[in-house]
Amino acid sequence: RLFHALPHNLFVGIYPEMVDATVRQHLAGVTEPVIVCAHTHRPLARTVAPWTIFNGGSVGLPYNGDTRAQYLILEAEHGRGGWAWRPIFRHVDYDHSVLRPAYAASGMLAATGAMGELHLLTAESGHPYSSDFGVWLRDQPDAVRADLDRAVPLYLAVHGPGTWAFAV
């Protein structure tokens, strides 16, 4: 079965460190034994009985500290237990020095302001600044939420690798 995050929630994903009981709760009612999902921007090949769960990561905004484009190939293979899917995780390096100039030349950087800078930081670092900022922003006063150019520097002064606002 293929879905973005969870079958019943587009905004919650399955994480490598998520305990099995939580995964089972999230997947209750899913009868297919193989699941391919996304949302977390982190590669995953995990078995939580009765499911085998795969996530290819992210081509453009990986959240695992690896800035290479990441994707997944599933190859069918026959073994002693019958047919199974074998994950092949691919990582493709590319020239990150072109990101900022291309983003600026396209007009996107000027149009998106501080949020554009946050997305660039995510692409350049492989860390989840973009999504973590959204989690942090929900708990901020109205005045901060209304001014993203003010909010982003406040967020960056406190959060980053090892000090994220979200918890899994």
Strands 69-79 and 51-56: unpaired
Give tens-digit pLDDT for 41-87. Answer: 999 999 999 999 999 999 999 999 999 999 999 999 998 888 899 99
Q: Mean of the per-residue pLDDT values for the chain?
A: 95
CA dihedral of 43, 36, 167, 120, whole degrees rounded to 10: 50
CATH 3.60.21.10 maps onto the chain at 20-92
pTM to 2 decimals? 0.87
CATH of 20-92, one of 3.40.50.300, 3.40.630.30, 3.40.718.10, 3.60.21.10: 3.60.21.10
Q: Does residue 168 surpass a pLDDT of 80? A: no
101 upstream amide cis, omega within 30 of 0 = no
Judged by DSSP in three states, 53 sits in strand
Q: Does residue 167 surpass a pLDDT of 80? A: no
Give tens-digit pLDDT for 109-121. Answer: 999 999 999 999 9
Higher pLDDT, 168 or 91: 91
